[in-house]
Copies of this chain bind each other. A is one copy, B any other.
Amino acid sequence: MASLPTGRLGEVDPTSDRAVFRQIADQLREAIERGRFSEGEKLPSEAELVEHYGVSRMTVRNSFSILQGEGLVHAEHGKGVFVRPRPPVRRLASDRFARRHREQGKSAFLVEADAAGSHPQVDGLEVKEEKTSQDISTRLGSARKVLARRRRYLLDGRPVEFATSYLPLDIARGTQIAEPNPGPGGIYARLEELGHRLDHFDEEIRARMPSPAEVKTLRLAPGVPVIHLIRTAYDTEGRAVEVCDTVMAADAYVLSYQLPAN
């Protein structure tokens, strides 16, 4: 009764069909889900679990590895393994690009985050001319050269989204869209001033595990997928005037859409 950090856990059955490290993972998972370990709380150390279950250290580490893959826990070198807190999510509504949200001066991201009480930042802005990839070219109606606008979005210091906008060069070159600061209302406002009145947006959504580069850029914990969103903006003449390729930390977002029934 001296050491109680493992007091909330049971035993394992080495003769079971289920591997020992999976049984340990099951017990920890259940304890977490039942709230026996709360968000941010430290789990028993590897050494404590080795002693509690009478197994080798690799077995315990395999258990942690499972839970880490599920996004339930994260390890901090020299400190311990902790229950992963659920971060606040950012809700994206389907009217987020409605023209009325654009009449003010600031970008949608900043306005919306302020309203939600978070501290928003945009960083790593990069604007340059590029040749298109096959995919982007197709979406933009075979444009060969584009203006690319890259930037990273952060909430309360945490990177949550990395986005690149592609615009046909014949539309964007020499305009304020090619400047680091595209001005009030963002590039959509500028596009409309240039005579491209926006009609609608198509969004394509996928979810997958991040590449190592995305893990780095978004500082993703193990077990956190990304939402990959590709938006194409069309003007009233049916021309695709922008494609925006966005990779979002999935644990930071809820997307919402409204579909008509008719």
Query: Taking beta carbons and an 8 Å cutoff, which residues of A are in contact with B?
Result: 26, 29, 58, 65, 69-71, 94-99, 198-212, 222-227, 233, 250-251, 253-262
Considering the complex of A and B, which 6 residue pairs feature the smallest CB-CB distances, nearest first? A207-B207, A225-B225, A198-B261, A207-B250, A205-B255, A201-B259
Q: Which residues of B contact A99 (CB under 8 A)?
A: 261-262
Query: Known pairs A200-B260, A209-B225. 19 more at Cβ < 8 A?
Result: A95-B259, A96-B259, A97-B261, A98-B260, A99-B262, A198-B261, A200-B258, A201-B261, A202-B256, A202-B259, A204-B255, A205-B254, A205-B255, A205-B257, A206-B254, A207-B226, A208-B225, A208-B251, A209-B224
* Other-chain residue from B198, B201, B202, B256 in contact with A203 (beta carbon distance below 8 A): B256
A256 to B229, CA, bound (A): 9
* Residues on B with beta carbons closer than 8 Å to the beta carbon of A207: 207, 225-227, 250
Please determine whether A250 and B201 come into contact, CB atoms closer than 8 angstroms: no
* Nearest CB in chain B: distance from A1 CB, A: 32
Q: Given A98-B260, A200-B261, A251-B208, A69 and B71 touching (CB < 8 A)?
A: no
Q: State which of B96, B97, B201, B250 has its C-beta within 8 Å of the C-beta of A208.
A: B250
- Give how many copies assemble into the complex: 2
A204 to B65 alpha-carbon distance, docked (Å): 30
A24 nearest CB across to chain B (Å) = 14
**Across the interface, which residues of B come within 8 angstroms of A209, CB to CB?**
69-71, 223-225
Contacts of A253 in B (CB 8 A): 206
